[in-house]
Amino acid sequence: MQGWFFVLILVLTACALFYIGRSRAVTTVGGDATILHSKPGFHGAFVMICGLVPAVLVFLTWLLFSRYLINAYVTAQLGADFANLATIEQQALLRNMRSFADRADLSSLAALEVAAVEHYRGFVATAALLVQVIVAALVVVGSWFAVRAIKQELRARQFVEKTVMAVLIAASGVAILTTIGIVLSLIFESINFFQKVNFLDFLFGTHWSPQSAFEGVGAEATDRNSEVFGAIPVFAGTLLITAIAIIVAAPIGLMSAIYLSDYASPKVRATAKPILEILAGIPTVVYGFFAALTVAPFFRNTGDAIGISVSSESALAAGLVMGIMIIPFVSSLSDDVINSVPQSLRDGSAGLGATKSETIRRVILPAALPGIVSALMLAISRAIGETMIVVMAAGLSANMTVNPLEAVTTVTVQIVTLLVGDQEFDSAKTLAAFALGLVLFCVTLLLNVIALRVIQKYREQYD
């Protein structure tokens, strides 16, 4: 409600400022807008920007950082009573204070908490008033100066365009910010984790059972946790499922691409391509559902019938379905790669009397090999990072095995299981998910960077 009110005020102010600027510009030149350097609308926008941008920036800063100010103030007011609490209790108190701030009934709170809420309210009331005054003053002062600056030769258009450019540049910075955010948050939480668990024990340990993690501090905790956070079985499981997926997807995807680009009639192409696109557009949760409720039981029952024991969460089922999921990915990438091999090579080979398949196998595929390899690398990265299929169809327990009929677990499954539900942000279990996430991010990033590089080089070669 308050949010909508704020938006309404903002829009109204913006319109008002625009109108003021516009009419001011027209009156300065005695009504003949054609002699203005910039059209009147730009003058309106000029006043609007000068009036609103500083005010909005101040307001956003307040929204983002007021929390720290409030916490600092309340903490200072509570003094020793607060300082004597354990960190966890301090946090709980602050959380309660915030959630009870706009409730009337405080009877369920402890005395200290009630005091905190009262300090909070007092501070917020004053501070909010102050901020409102500052913001209003900024609007008035900013637009006043802007209106004063309006004259015939004012380059309002340039000013407005520069502002828009700044906005455009900021927008393209968001992508960078996202990456920085990912890297920082993963690294930050992982460092916390590696204070609880030895880094090498994590990377090379062979026993993974986070549910028996020891929540405590000190050397003992590190030792005990180092025994249960050995991620090798998780990595091994990921590799097993990824390998199965690639074994399925690579030949099928590649052959599809070859068939579609060199053999299929336009009619076949026109139906097969959309089908592959549909396959690519189906959400992974649907694949997961199919893997867990149709494919896995089918494998288990078949196994039962012929006397082989197959786990109901077999790596085979998850890997197979994941393989099918990435077929369109492999085939469209390979299609690009194969099509960028110049026609002259095909003609050359055909001119020597080679059949089509000989041309493809002996000339085109070798020429396209770097591209195909990087396509496969992208596919592998996709498979490693795929989550829902394995969460639904693969197991939870970390077995070290290469038998595809047994259940294994993967990095993404572990991240999901460790993080879904309530988490304490300083528990080793939660942090372990971030360490796994960091490994996942690094590996996929490496694969992607190399693959994109190779593909780019490859394209340049034939351009």
Site for other proteins in 351-390 (CB under 8 A): 353, 355-358, 360-361, 378, 381-382, 384-388
Task: Report how far apart, in Å, the C-alpha atoms of 116 and of each of 14, 77, 78, 105, 259 are.
Answer: 38, 8, 7, 14, 71
Contacts of other proteins in 34-53 (CB under 8 A):
34, 36, 38-40
Which of 114, 127, 141, 419: binder of other proteins (CB under 8 A)? 419
Q: Do residues 54 and 142 lie in contact, with contact meaning Cβ atoms separated by under 8 Å?
A: yes
CB of 85 to other proteins, least distance (A): 19
Q: Does 189 bind other proteins (CB under 8 A)?
A: yes
Residue 208, helix vs strand vs coil: strand
Q: Do residues 334 and 398 lie in contact, with contact meaning Cβ atoms separated by under 8 Å?
A: no
Nearer to other proteins, 12 or 168 (CB): 168
CB of 338 to other proteins, least distance (A): 12
Six token digits for residue 275: 């089908």
Q: Sort 64 into a burial class: Cβ within 10 Å, 0-12 / 13-18 / 19+.
A: exposed
Q: Do residues 247 and 389 lie in contact, with contact meaning Cβ atoms separated by under 8 Å?
A: no
Nearer to other proteins, 199 or 259 (CB): 259
Count of residues engaged in binding other proteins, rule: CB under 8 A: 98
Contacts of other proteins in 275-294 (CB under 8 A):
275-276, 278-279, 281-290, 292-294
CB of 166 to other proteins, least distance (A): 10
Residue 153, helix vs strand vs coil: coil
Q: Do residues 318 and 393 lie in contact, with contact meaning Cβ atoms separated by under 8 Å?
A: yes
Nearer to other proteins, 176 or 305 (CB): 176
Stretch that binds other proteins, among 50-58, 80-88, 114-122, 253-261 (CB under 8 A): 253-261
Using alpha carbons only, what angle is made at residue 230 by residues 226 and 235, rounded to the nearest 5 degrees?
Answer: 160
Q: Do residues 363 and 349 lie in contact, with contact meaning Cβ atoms separated by under 8 Å?
A: yes
Six token digits for residue 354: 């080679």
CB of 431 to other proteins, least distance (A): 10
Nearer to other proteins, 58 or 445 (CB): 445
Nearer to other proteins, 296 or 315 (CB): 296
Which of 84, 185, 301, 397: binder of other proteins (CB under 8 A)? 185
CB of 421 to other proteins, least distance (A): 8
Which of 157, 221, 370, 405: binder of other proteins (CB under 8 A)? 157
Stretch that binds other proteins, among 116-124, 131-139, 164-172, 208-216 (CB under 8 A): 164-172
Stretch that binds other proteins, among 48-56, 100-108, 163-171, 235-243 (CB under 8 A): 163-171
Stretch that binds other proteins, among 125-133, 172-180, 218-226, 307-315 (CB under 8 A): 172-180
Residue 221, helix vs strand vs coil: helix
Angle between helices 87-100 and 40-78 (to 10 degrees): 130
Phi, psi (deg, nearest 5) at residue 431: -65, -30
Six token digits for residue 311: 């786990």
Query: E strands along 327-420, which residues?
Result: none
Nearest to 386 by CA among 450, 320, 309: 320
Q: Does 309 bind other proteins (CB under 8 A)?
A: no
Which of 171, 219, 305, 306: binder of other proteins (CB under 8 A)? 171
Q: Which residues pair with residue 89 across a beta bridge? A: none
Q: Does 336 bind other proteins (CB under 8 A)?
A: no
Nearest to 192 by CA among 431, 423, 415, 424: 431
What is the DSSP-derived secondary structure letter of residue 4?
A: H
Stretch that binds other proteins, among 81-89, 142-150, 200-208, 247-255 (CB under 8 A): 247-255
CB of 414 to other proteins, least distance (A): 11
Residue 102, helix vs strand vs coil: coil
Contacts of other proteins in 387-406 (CB under 8 A):
387-388, 391-392
Stretch that binds other proteins, among 53-61, 110-118, 202-210, 439-447 (CB under 8 A): 439-447
d(CA 230, CA 204): 6
Q: Does 324 bind other proteins (CB under 8 A)?
A: yes
Nearer to other proteins, 38 or 96 (CB): 38
Contacts of other proteins in 82-141 (CB under 8 A):
none
d(CA 178, CA 196): 27
